[in-house]
Structure 1
Amino acid sequence: MFTLRSLEVFYWAGRLRSFSKAAEKLNTTQPTISQRIAAMEETVGEPLFDRMAKPIALTRVGRTLFGHAELLLRQVAAMERDLELNRHLHCRIRLGVSETIVQTWLSRFLEQASRRFPNMDFDMTVDVTPSMLIALQNGEIDIALMLGPAVLEGFTCVKLKDYPLRFYAIPGLVPDELLTYQKAPTVPILTYPRNTYPFDYLRELVFQKTGQPPRIFANSSISTIEKLALDGIGVALVAAGTLGAAKVDNILQPVPSEIDLPPLRFYAFYPLGFGSEMLEELAAIAQRVASEDSR
């Protein structure tokens, strides 16, 4: 009655509640999605979607078909996994990743993922966690390597690695070479953007201790933070091991500080259900590479 491809199109349109998002997910066009859904509705004799709803919603018949479609697609995916057919399938994964991981072990992850899935292509988005959370829930990315943990309905997360937060600066920038709470409102601190954990936590902590907010120069680019720190603009607050100059040329020095912040905790987030089998394998690869990176 229906081809597997038609069921897959219907499944993703129903899950994402959008023909356009289903088209992006399946690397096709919205008219193609609409045509397949229309053909399925003609076969069933009833609408599968309420197109007047915002966003679109499955009808009663659509919900019934959705349950059967998911079951069939899961069985096919299990067969492909058992026969290792998915290893050779050509697919595109939309990957969201935090820059801390870009600066540390992302290349090794991509290398091992490509070895496991030779025909897998990656569309990568480097962004902050709040933005990636929204993109993940909207179906705009398939898997995200970002800060956590977080409880997202319909998603799971796998622990990757903790990164201690450290202060770095050129020698002589911080008086007496110790960054205290009292110095934080006067010495610029170069760190991650607003609405991220380091920015918000640091601001609140210093404000509680001194009654004044710290001077924070926020930036989403670690390389930019590093350049500003090298130029003596301020003290960099980043995950340990992410600054090239601090690791190689020894120009930026760790700055002792009485300001103690919890580490950055990274997780792999991906949706549950059909389509998660390959994402689960990618999360396991990320977990293994992150573990190796800490040795």
Structure 2
Amino acid sequence: MHSHTTLISAATLAQHLTDPNWVILDCRHDLMNPNAGRDGYAIGHIQNAQFASIDDDLSGAKTGADGVFRGRHPLPERGALIETLRAWGVNDGSQVAAYDAHGGMFAARLWWLLRWVGHANVAVLDGGLAAWQSEGLPLVTPVATRARGSIAERPTLTHTVGAREIVANLATRQRTVVDARAADRFRGENETIDPVGGHIPGAKNRFFKDNLQPDGRFKPGSQLKQDFAPLFSNPNFAIMQCGSGVTACHNLLAMELAGLHGASLYPGSWSEWCADPARPVATGA
């Protein structure tokens, strides 16, 4: 079986809707309306897709055992994520396909999380639901269920850093922090989403939507490689972040397409960073 580890086309996904080895997950979400994804799924979804909630399934508790705020969408506990994946029917050999209606901004989080627990066979539907429907492919309403899976946790295929490492890097500047938020949020001009505006000092801005073509599909890997070139010279020394560790995964997926492997995710991202007033904040461009 050919495995898909980055993107999958609507045409290819359509050929595997009833393949028992494939698990399809609907990751739609709206930061301003937490029920929007589940509501959209109920109205219509890809056949045999199950709903994956950013808040409930793909994130952990906002406050750690130590009482410290970990950000709006902290990583789930690894064991809890494995249990969730098993409940969706994911096995060690499963091909997982994730989609959303937002250019991959939420599906990329699932893609990254699967890699985090060592599962490489996961791909994002290129162009999302818009691409699916542009091919004339149908949506259905029955809620899909699967027999329980048996995926096991394996060595991670990703890298993460915490706030402590970001603080240390403020002095050394050995690593480059790349922020995936829109430019106004990066500059500190959007208080609706970010009550504390600005960015980590020294960070560079790469809005995740800049990874996409006008039709919502990802740019070719060669173009993405050119786009990322001015930001850092070595991806192993790059740290991806955003508002809460979700859209940063979109940049990580784009970098994987570009052959730029080895960058880290700062899962707490801006929402964790700015929660501690002792940490410095930069504003402007």
* TM-score, L = length of structure 1: 0.24
Which structure is larger by alpha-carbon Rg, 1 or 2? 1
More strand as a share of residues: 1
More helix as a share of residues: 1
